[in-house]
């Protein structure tokens, strides 16, 4: 889900909330009318020397909770009049005036106190809403920055690389990157930080900085991931971990050297032979185990080969029947669109996942990276 889509969902949610509040206010006002009618009728039919008019304080208090003060003042006057008409008759005009004055004063006090409480509550809600809106604006700006710093589709001498990331919330915990180490070497990485939202997203810049600083200094993917594993243990707690797949492409020899730390195995499709395989060689998750070791795996590539890296937000997205999108469906999407550029292919993947999900809510960040070998 893009930043614009998330903002649209939030706006729709607010409109629905406002509509629900309006509907509730209308129902409560109807209850006020029924309560007044019930009290007036009971006060009229009960033959007693004690008035039941004090029960008018209930609809007056309810009215003050949901309506402006002038509505409550009008209701106070109406209730005082009804109490005078339907209540037990006074022995004299002076006593009748005194009763009405006492009733009016009591009703006004109730209405004023409830209105005061409501004003304080609304002021508190306004302050909270203001803080929430400010927080949402900050998150929106952060999400826009997060999308802008991710690399755009790139064409190297023997590689074509593109990626997409659709976050489940405004901020995502997935990470991908691709950058050139030398004239012949290009590194491609994908990672998934545990959790979603701001907490996971805050770790992404640290990953990017650490990788860019160390990638040129260390010999290969396994050594880079071991170094990053040590960094993560210093800056995070054991509850936060990262899965990662790190690939290094040598364009001169058309070879791929990679290391994996508990991440979803990428799919290598060879359209020339129709063979597909999962790069299942893996190591431990980053940021948890002491003394974690990672190993490089190397394989040869051919022109036309396609490597698809992804996070579990792709293959584990469910539809309305609780079926997962699955690796097999991902393979089929890639094979069906193998002739398209990498940038179009990643869009095909995300569109296929969302079409499959239908009305099912996106449960996790969706990230896919496609590398096409020339």
What average pLDDT score do residues 116-133 get? Answer: 84
- On the question of pLDDT at 5 being above 70, the answer is no
Q: Which of 82, 42, 36 is nearest to 59 (CA)?
A: 36
Query: 200 and 129 in one domain?
Result: no
In this predicted structure, what is the pLDDT of residue 127? 86
- When divided into structural domains, the chain yields a total of 2
Work out the pLDDT band at 162, boundaries 50, 70, 90: very high
Is residue 283 within 8 A of residue 268, CB to CB? The reply is no
In this predicted structure, what is the pLDDT of residue 15? 67
Residues composing the chain: 374
What average pLDDT score do residues 241-255 get? Answer: 95
Query: 108 and 172 in one domain?
Result: no
Query: 172 and 98 in one domain?
Result: no
Pairing state between β 306-310 and 267-270: antiparallel
Q: Which of 129, 128, 118, 4 is nearest to 67 (CA)?
A: 118
Work out the pLDDT band at 355, boundaries 50, 70, 90: very high
Q: Which residues contact 46 (CB under 8 A, 6 or more apart)?
A: 52
CA distances for 304 relative to 81, 178, 191, 342, 373, angstroms: 89, 19, 25, 12, 5
Q: Which of 337, 265, 258 is nearest to 296 (CA)?
A: 258
In this predicted structure, what is the pLDDT of residue 263? 96
248: which DSSP letter?
E
Query: 202 and 65 in one domain?
Result: no
Q: Which of the pair, 80 or 323, is modelled with greater confidence?
A: 323
Work out the pLDDT band at 46, boundaries 50, 70, 90: low
Is residue 173 within 8 A of residue 200, CB to CB? The reply is yes
Q: Which residues contact 260 (CB under 8 A, 6 or more apart)?
A: 244, 245, 246, 279, 281, 282, 283, 294
119: which DSSP letter?
H
Work out the pLDDT band at 145, boundaries 50, 70, 90: low
Query: 166 and 132 in one domain?
Result: no
**Rounded Cα–Cα distance for residues 274 and 335 (Å):** 9
- On the question of pLDDT at 2 being above 60, the answer is no
Q: Is 255 helix (H, G, I), strand (E, B) or coil?
A: strand
Q: Which residues contact 112 (CB under 8 A, 6 or more apart)?
A: none
- On the question of pLDDT at 49 being above 60, the answer is no
Query: 66 and 95 in one domain?
Result: yes
The percentage of residues in the chain with a pLDDT greater than 90, rounded to a whole number, is 42
Query: 316 and 197 in one domain?
Result: yes
Q: Which two tokens stand for residue 24?
A: 């509730």
Where is the domain boundary, 123, 143, 163? 143
What average pLDDT score do residues 282-289 get? Answer: 91
**Rounded Cα–Cα distance for residues 295 and 305 (Å):** 23
In this predicted structure, what is the pLDDT of residue 37? 76
Q: Check residue 254 and give left, alpha or beta (phi > 0: left; psi -120 to 50: alpha).
A: left
Query: 173 and 126 in one domain?
Result: no
Work out the pLDDT band at 124, boundaries 50, 70, 90: confident
Query: 166 and 91 in one domain?
Result: no
Neighbours of 20 (CB within 10 A): 10
Query: 38 and 103 in one domain?
Result: yes
In this predicted structure, what is the pLDDT of residue 314? 96
- Tell me the average pLDDT of the chain: 85
What is the number of alpha carbons within 13 Å of residue 209 lying toward its C-beta?
7
Beta bridge pairs of residue 76: none
- On the question of pLDDT at 358 being above 90, the answer is yes
- On the question of pLDDT at 297 being above 90, the answer is yes
Where is the domain boundary, 143, 169, 195? 143
Query: 211 and 97 in one domain?
Result: no
In this predicted structure, what is the pLDDT of residue 189? 96
Helices (H), 275-367: 312-315, 326-336, 342-357
Where is the domain boundary, 110, 143, 176? 143
Angle at 267 between CA 263 and CA 273, to 5 degrees: 160
Query: 342 and 208 in one domain?
Result: yes
Work out the pLDDT band at 178, boundaries 50, 70, 90: very high
Task: Provide the CATH number for the domain around residue 272.
Answer: 3.60.40.10
Structural domain of residue 9, as residue ranges? 3-143
**Rounded Cα–Cα distance for residues 29 and 114 (Å):** 16
């Amino acid at each position: 889900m893009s930043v614009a889509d998330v903002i649209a969902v939030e706006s729709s949610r607010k409109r629905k909330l406002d509509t629900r509040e309006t509907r509730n206010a209308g129902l409560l006002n109807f209850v006020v009318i029924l309560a007044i009618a019930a009290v007036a009728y009971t006060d009229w039919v009960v033959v007693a020397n004690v008035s039941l008019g004090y029960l008018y304080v209930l609809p007056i208090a309810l009215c003050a909770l949901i309506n402006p003060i002038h509505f409550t003042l009008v209701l106070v006057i109406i209730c005082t009049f009804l109490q005078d008409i339907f209540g037990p008759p006074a022995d004299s005009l002076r006593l009748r005036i005194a009763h009405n004055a006492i009733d009016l004063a009591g009703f006004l006090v109730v209405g004023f106190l409830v209105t005061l409480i409501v004003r304080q509550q609304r002021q508190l809600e306004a302050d909270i809403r203001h803080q929430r809106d400010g927080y949402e604006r900050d998150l929106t700006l952060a999400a826009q920055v997060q999308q802008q710093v991710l690399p755009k589709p790139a064409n190297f001498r023997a590689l074509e690389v593109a990626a997409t990331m659709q976050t489940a919330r405004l901020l995502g915990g997935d990470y991908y990157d691709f950058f050139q180490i030398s004239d012949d070497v290009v590194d491609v990485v994908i990672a998934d930080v545990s959790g979603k939202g701001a907490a996971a997203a805050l770790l992404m810049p640290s990953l990017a900085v650490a990788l860019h600083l160390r990638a040129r200094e260390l010999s290969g993917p396994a050594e880079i991931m071991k170094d990053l594993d040590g960094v993560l243990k210093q800056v995070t707690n054991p509850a936060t971990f990262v899965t990662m797949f790190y690939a290094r492409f040598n364009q001169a020899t058309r070879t791929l050297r990679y290391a994996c730390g508990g991440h979803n195995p990428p799919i290598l499709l060879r359209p020339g032979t129709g063979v597909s395989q999962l790069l299942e060689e893996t190591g431990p998750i980053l940021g948890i185990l002491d003394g974690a070791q990672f190993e490089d795996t190397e394989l040869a590539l051919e022109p036309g080969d396609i490597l698809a890296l992804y996070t579990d937000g792709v293959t584990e997205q469910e539809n309305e029947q609780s079926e997962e999108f699955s690796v097999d469906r991902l393979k089929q999407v890639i094979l069906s669109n193998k002739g398209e550029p990498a940038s179009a292919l990643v869009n095909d993947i995300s569109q296929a996942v969302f079409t499959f999900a239908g009305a099912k809510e996106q449960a996790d960040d969706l990230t896919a990276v496609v590398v096409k070998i020339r």
